[in-house]
Chain A
Amino acid sequence: MLELHHVLMVSVAMLGIGTIGMLVRRNAIVMFMSVELVLNAGNLNFIAFSRFLPDPVGQVFSVFVIVIAAAEVAVGLAIVLALYRNRDTVMVDEAARMKW
């Protein structure tokens, strides 16, 4: 029998993996992918509560989360491209100076 805390466990594991990815990786592109994992963990929570409460509002929220994720990726990856153009790197720790 599928219960709420099963979904929450998967969600927190995904959140943890995403957080580790943010902390450990240096490649800005992979760091953005980790952010996507974190957002997906949040979405999974919304959908889980939407089913188990039950209340469809959670699904509306997760639509907004997806929209925000798309907007974030569009601007974030443009910043990565600008970084690559100016510094010739996508590694965040190599872009530690404010001015080149």
Chain B
Amino acid sequence: MELLVFSILAGLALAGAIGVILARNPVYSALGLLLGLSAVAGLFVVLWAEFIAVVQLMVYAGGVLVLFLFVIMLVDLEQRGLDTDAGRIGPQPSPGWRVAAAMLGILFTVFVGALLLQEPAREVPGAGALDAVLRGGGGGGALGNLEHVGQLLYTSYLVPFELASVLLLVAMIGAVVLAHRER
């Protein structure tokens, strides 16, 4: 049952990912990204990371994707947004470059996938082992997923957390500097 749900979601995620890179129109790429990211959120739920699934939907599907669609609408889609070779002003590429690049990526994927298949099945904790760790067992009373992340984030990972705010500050200032036009 778990494997079945996982397979369906994984198929959807990969279908969305393939849609992103195959679609000619960037709007369809964005919709493929939406499908892929939502399916990955579902995978997170299957892997007992409910909080990360919610974060994924909130930040990616709710924020980052909106940003992508905004930019697609900000640039002139009709004229120059489509990824076709017609009407390009730059140097013409040699014909096989896309094929070569795609082959490189596929080879890499197949290679690592084959390595993973060769890996002997090792002793892994069964389904819900993390759940057991989270919801009791390890002392300190029963903690949920969210509580556990919070506990770690605000004690052991205090410095990265504060640095994240600096990163976000830099991103905000960078976006304002680059996108805002003084008039």
**Residues of A contacting B67 in the complex (Cβ-Cβ under 8 angstroms):** 73-74, 77
The prevalent SS among residues of B at the interface is helix
Chain A nearest CB, measured from B180 CB (Å) = 9
Q: Which of B1-15 contact A (CB under 8 A)?
A: 2-3, 6, 10, 13-14
- A47-B43, A75-B174 known; 9 new pairs, CB 8 Å cut-off, are A4-B124, A18-B21, A23-B104, A30-B83, A40-B37, A88-B80, A89-B80, A91-B88, A94-B89
Interface string of A1-40 (1 = CB under 8 A from B): 1111111111011111111110111110110111011001
Closest to A88 in B: B80
Tell me if B136 is interfacial: C-beta within 8 Å of chain A: no
B101 interface residue per 8 A CB criterion: yes
Which B residues contact A (CB, under 8 angstroms)?
A: 2-3, 6, 10, 13-14, 17-18, 20-21, 23, 26, 29-30, 33, 36-37, 40, 43-44, 46-49, 51-52, 55-56, 59-60, 63-64, 67-68, 71-72, 74-75, 80-81, 83, 88-91, 93, 98, 101-102, 104-106, 108-109, 112-113, 116-117, 119, 121, 124-125, 127, 129-130, 132-134, 145, 148-149, 152-153, 156-157, 160, 164, 167-168, 170-172, 174-175, 178-179
Say yes or no: A33 contacts B20, CB within 8 Å.
Answer: yes
| 5 A-B pairs with least C-beta separation | A16-B109, A20-B105, A23-B101, A54-B130, A21-B21
Q: Hey, which bits of chain A sit against chain B, CB under 8 A? A: 1-10, 12-21, 23-27, 29-30, 32-34, 36-37, 40, 43-44, 47-48, 50-57, 59-60, 62-64, 66-75, 77-82, 84, 88-91, 93-94, 96
Contact B127–A9 (Cβ < 8 Å): no
A20 to B75, CA, bound (A): 24
In the complex, 14 of the A-B residue pairs with CB atoms within 8 angstroms, ordered by the A residue number, are A2-B3, A16-B105, A17-B105, A23-B104, A24-B102, A37-B33, A47-B43, A60-B157, A63-B149, A72-B171, A77-B175, A88-B80, A89-B89, A93-B91
